[in-house]
Amino acid sequence: MIQNQANNIKVSVKDNQVITKVGVVVLNWNGKSDTLVCLEELSKSECESQCLLVVDNGSTDGSVNAIMDWGQSKEWDVHVFDEISDNTKQDQKLTVYATNQLFLLKLKENRGYTGGNNAGITWLLNHGAEAIFILNNDSVVYPNAIRIMVSILQQRKDIGIVGCKLISLDKPGGSYEGGNLSYWLGVHFLRRLKGLQKQEVEVNFVPGCAMLVRASVIKTVGGFREDFFLYTEDTEFCYRVHQAGWKIVTALGAQIATKVGGSSGGGRTAIYYYFITRNTLVFITEELEGIQKSVALFTFCLARVLQVQVWLFQRRWDRIKGVVKGFSDFLQGVHGPGWARRHLSEHAESSSQPK
């Protein structure tokens, strides 16, 4: 599996290779309906020589069979693997960067956003990917989006990650056009950049729901922190990449429509606030240094306290519980799914019930 590397690694930009092998990893967890829509749109992509890989995160809703049926209905070659291994013998002779193919990696359990994507990333690296597009399954990719993002990686060899313009499927007219995280304000404050005329803008963060990453970046700094399990992993990953010397940009010409919170059951639930609270505290205390760490920790905690007071008046007990449990598990050093394990299991059970 991918291992995280030290943050003080500095990159020497010597990669002048034309990118001809693009891996696309779509993580599915009890979301077959969204995943099938996502795959249908990806099948229209203008990007050549891409390998389409779906990682199933231990789904219980019949996702695997549904995804296989979709691929076969398009008369594609569907290749299914039970688990990842470092010495893959059964698929060494496959030509994975070819059209009309679908690869499906089945995991035995829910490893979270981080573990599931890392499994897919490792599989793609083992098969020679030069760039990897990480995509949420509740997304609709415009046909030219991946091609535009790949072209930026090829034009500027100092760029490690390319993001895109995200259009909200939940809020009509809503869009995310890139921005920078303020680590001094506890990383929860995002300065959005709107109304830009540029086609690409340099930032320090792009959301993990849709990011194109140069393979050499992952080989240098590692993948997502698996102990985070869900949420804030993209903040921590982008921070490591930026610290290692790569640039991060948002390509506003590349557009993707996406939902919010599908990996946790939808929306800003108690699970969302649990992971955001716990993992942000871990990020601040373990990654930031000196006065920046102290200021970020103070502002983040103050913001959470003030928010909880508002929720008390609104009787948002679920959100309050998520924040309290996040603080508690942080102080106790609890990692992985932690307090949210039972709630995620309940979501999985409800997803497996016939509709």
Res. 346: pLDDT tops 70:
no
pLDDT classification of 177: cutoffs 50, 70, 90: confident
In this prediction, residue 347 carries a pLDDT of 58
Q: Give yes or no for a contact between 352 and 30, defined as CB atoms under 8 angstroms apart.
A: yes
Using CA atoms, how far apart are residues 74 and 81, in angstroms rounded to an integer? Answer: 20
Last residue of a domain, one of 235, 264, 293: 264
Q: Give per-residue pLDDT as tens, 316-333.
A: 999 999 999 999 999 999
Q: Give per-residue pLDDT as tens, 53-111.
A: 999 999 999 999 999 999 999 999 999 998 755 445 555 567 889 889 999 999 999 99
**Residue 231 vs residue 1, higher pLDDT:** 231
Last residue of a domain, one of 242, 264, 286: 264
> Does 146 share its domain with 206?
yes
Q: Is residue 2 part of a domain?
A: no
**Residue 241 vs residue 197, higher pLDDT:** 241
> Does 84 share its domain with 166?
yes
pLDDT classification of 217: cutoffs 50, 70, 90: very high
Q: Is residue 7 part of a domain?
A: no
Q: In the chain, at which residue ranges do the beta strands (DSSP E only) sit?
A: 22-28, 50-57, 77-81, 101-107, 131-136, 139-141, 159-168, 175-176, 179-181, 190-192, 200-203, 210-214, 247-258
What tokens were used for 117?
């994507």
For the chain, the straight-line distance linking the first and the last C-alpha, in angstroms and rounded, comes to 37
Domain count, the chain: 2
b/e sequence 34-72, b meaning 16+ C-beta within 10 Å: bbbebbebbbebebeebbbbbbbbbbebebbeebbebbe
Query: What value does the mean pLDDT take over residues 212-228?
Result: 97
Using CA atoms, how far apart are residues 351 and 59, in angstroms rounded to an integer? Answer: 9
Q: Is residue 157 part of a domain?
A: yes
> Does 207 share its domain with 296?
no
Using CA atoms, how far apart are residues 46 and 137, in angstroms rounded to an integer? Answer: 19
Question: Which residue range forms the structural domain that includes residue 341?
Answer: 270-352
Strands 247-258 and 159-168: parallel
Task: Report pTM.
Answer: 0.90
Q: Is residue 52 part of a domain?
A: yes
> Does 283 share its domain with 248?
no
In this prediction, residue 175 carries a pLDDT of 78
Q: Is residue 339 part of a domain?
A: yes
Q: Is residue 132 part of a domain?
A: yes
| CA distances for 52 relative to 46, 58, 132, angstroms | 13, 19, 10
Last residue of a domain, one of 222, 249, 264: 264
In this prediction, residue 186 carries a pLDDT of 85
Percentage of residues of the chain with pLDDT beyond 90: 70
Using CA atoms, how far apart are residues 136 and 285, in angstroms rounded to an integer? Answer: 28
> Does 156 share its domain with 290?
no
> Does 226 share its domain with 339?
no
Q: Give per-residue pLDDT as tens, 9-20.
A: 344 444 546 888
Q: Give per-residue pLDDT as tens, 140-168.
A: 999 999 999 999 999 999 999 999 999 88
Res. 197: pLDDT tops 70:
no
Query: What value does the mean pLDDT take over residues 156-183?
Result: 85
CATH number of the domain encompassing residue 116: 3.90.550.10
> Does 111 share its domain with 168?
yes
Query: What value does the mean pLDDT take over residues 202-220?
Result: 95
Using CA atoms, how far apart are residues 53 and 25, in angstroms rounded to an integer? Answer: 5
Res. 6: pLDDT tops 60:
no
Res. 243: pLDDT tops 90:
yes
In this prediction, residue 168 carries a pLDDT of 85
> Does 292 share its domain with 256?
no
Res. 173: pLDDT tops 80:
no
Percentage of residues of the chain with pLDDT beyond 70: 84
Q: Give yes or no for a contact between 293 and 284, defined as CB atoms under 8 angstroms apart.
A: yes
> Does 290 share its domain with 256?
no
Q: Is residue 188 part of a domain?
A: yes
> Does 180 share its domain with 248?
yes
Q: Give per-residue pLDDT as tens, 257-313.
A: 998 555 544 568 899 999 999 999 999 999 999 999 999 999 999 999 999 999 999
Q: Is residue 5 part of a domain?
A: no
> Does 138 share its domain with 240?
yes
> Does 199 share its domain with 324?
no
